[in-house]
């Protein structure tokens, strides 16, 4: 029986050090065991990566063990995804994601940074990452970084975060509130080799509608119109292509456009 998920309260005066203690340090400590449990790509994410163009380059912001870097498997080398993560130990694993004979490009960095040419990528994914940021402003900034990383003409973005609405098969019992703005929790990780070592990872679990609202705020911050591409005028915007829920996660797929 896994230890229970418990509610937590973020220290809003020091969210950065809160994330260091309850996210970054935890992943560096559990990297090897964590990675061994994360090997199967999710179908919607695999489908997103399978429908891009030859020659496109993408950013996997919060790549973890890099399991999405080799995709699509049927067209190896036709596009190039660069993995970014805050955990150095996970990046060492991500370098050889998909087998030691093929090396992946990985960068040690933070999802709130932007150490690349503006709008240079064709696509960006952020899977199970933004929910580790400890305040609404930081989560919004993380979305702004994704939108600002991709082409204004055709950039595509896919974001996944953990949901308060859990799958009926989920073994987890989740604390709830009725705020509509999600739930801050600790999710324990018990090391396989030493069950006395338990690490509490911080998550912000997203309520229904919260991810799309966050994306809307981030787009507005960047002066982007939200909706289908305008017929005329000199406008920049994003279209929300998909806004869904799958197996205890919310996801949103976006396309940038300009006229």
Partner 1 sequence: MVRLITHNLLACHVKGCTSNNFPLEFKDVQVVLRESEFNPDFLRGFIPKLEWPALVGAARELGDTSLPDQLPEMLDDDFLKTLHHVLLEIHVEEGIMICPNCKHNYPVSNGIPNMLLAEHEIG
Nearer CB in complex with partner 1: 77/223: 77
State how far the Cα of 88 lies from the Cα of 214, in Å rounded to an integer. 28
State how far the Cα of 71 lies from the Cα of 74, in Å rounded to an integer. 8
Nearest to 124 by CA among 218, 208, 19: 218
Query: Exposed (0-12), middle (13-18) or buried (19+): which is 255, by Cβ within 10 Å?
Result: middle
Nearer CB in complex with partner 1: 70/188: 70
Nearest approach, Cβ of 215 to partner 1 (angstroms)?
21
Q: Which residue has the tokens 């990872």?
A: 201
Nearest approach, Cβ of 91 to partner 1 (angstroms)?
6
Give the single-character DSSP code of 121: B
Give the single-character DSSP code of 255: E
Binding mask 53-72 for partner 1 (x = CB under 8 A): xxxxx---------------
What is the distance between the terminal CA atoms of the chain, rounded to a whole angstrom? 55
Nearer CB in complex with partner 1: 88/247: 88
> Which residues in the 146-175 window bind partner 1 by CB under 8 A?
none
User: Does the footprint of partner 1 cover residue 86 (CB under 8 A)?
Assistant: yes
Can you tell me which of 9, 77, 196, 231 binds partner 1, judged by CB under 8 A?
77
User: Does the footprint of partner 1 cover residue 116 (CB under 8 A)?
Assistant: yes
Nearest approach, Cβ of 196 to partner 1 (angstroms)?
31
Strands 249-258 and 156-162: antiparallel
Binding mask 10-49 for partner 1 (x = CB under 8 A): ------x---------------------------------
State how far the Cα of 42 lies from the Cα of 224, in Å rounded to an integer. 29
User: Does the footprint of partner 1 cover residue 134 (CB under 8 A)?
Assistant: no
For residue 16, what are the CA distances in angstroms to 12, 19, 206? Answer: 9, 5, 20
Strands 57-61 and 123-127: parallel
Nearer CB in complex with partner 1: 115/223: 115
Residue 50 is inside which H or E element, if any?
Answer: helix 43-50
Count, residues near partner 1 per rule CB under 8 A = 37
Nearer CB in complex with partner 1: 78/172: 78
Stretch that binds partner 1, among 39-47, 83-91, 159-167, 179-187 (CB under 8 A): 83-91
Binding site for partner 1 (CB under 8 A): 16, 53-57, 76-80, 82, 84, 86, 88, 91-92, 95, 102-110, 112-118, 120-122
């Amino acid at each position: 029986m896994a230890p229970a998920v418990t509610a937590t309260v973020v220290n809003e005066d020091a969210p950065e050090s809160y994330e260091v203690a309850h996210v970054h340090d935890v992943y560096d400590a559990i990297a090897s065991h964590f990675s061994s449990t994360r090997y199967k790509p999710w179908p919607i994410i695999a489908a997103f990566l399978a429908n891009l163009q030859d020659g496109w380059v993408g950013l996997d912001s919060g790549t973890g063990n890099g399991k999405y870097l080799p995709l699509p498997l049927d067209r190896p080398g036709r596009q190039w995804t660069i993995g970014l993560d805050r955990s150095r130990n996970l990046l060492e694993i991500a370098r050889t994601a998909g087998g030691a004979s093929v090396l992946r490009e990985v960068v040690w960095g933070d999802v709130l940074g932007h150490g690349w040419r503006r709008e240079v990528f064709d696509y960006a994914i952020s899977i199970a990452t933004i929910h580790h940021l400890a305040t609404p402003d930081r989560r919004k900034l993380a979305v702004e970084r994704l939108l600002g990383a991709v082409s204004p003409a055709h950039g595509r973005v896919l974001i996944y975060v953990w949901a308060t609405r859990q799958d009926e098969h989920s073994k987890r019992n989740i604390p709830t509130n009725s705020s509509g703005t999600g739930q801050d929790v600790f999710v324990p990780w018990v090391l396989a080799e030493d069950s006395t070592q338990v690490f509490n990872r911080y998550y912000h679990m997203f309520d229904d509608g919260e991810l799309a609202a966050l994306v809307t705020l981030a787009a507005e911050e960047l002066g982007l119109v939200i909706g289908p591409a305008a017929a005329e005028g000199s406008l920049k915007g994003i279209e929300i292509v998909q806004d869904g829920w799958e197996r205890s996660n919310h996801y949103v797929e976006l396309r940038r456009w300009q006229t």
